[in-house]
Amino acid sequence: MKSIEESVLSRIYGRGRGCVFSSSDFIDEFEANNIDKALSDLTKKGTF
């Protein structure tokens, strides 16, 4: 099973370069606090 970070990252990359996203784009699959944490962690890692 994918982690939330992996799932979020997969969906972001799947939209293509230059696409804008926010945490609300992932609310259908995850809880808001988990999305915010995953996006924060990915940012801290320098992923995007």
Domain locations along the chain: 4-44
**Tens digits of per-residue pLDDT, 19-45?**
999 999 999 999 999 999 999 999 999
Q: What is the pTM of this model?
A: 0.81
Q: What pLDDT shows up at residue 48?
A: 73
26 within 8 A of 8, measured Cβ to Cβ: yes
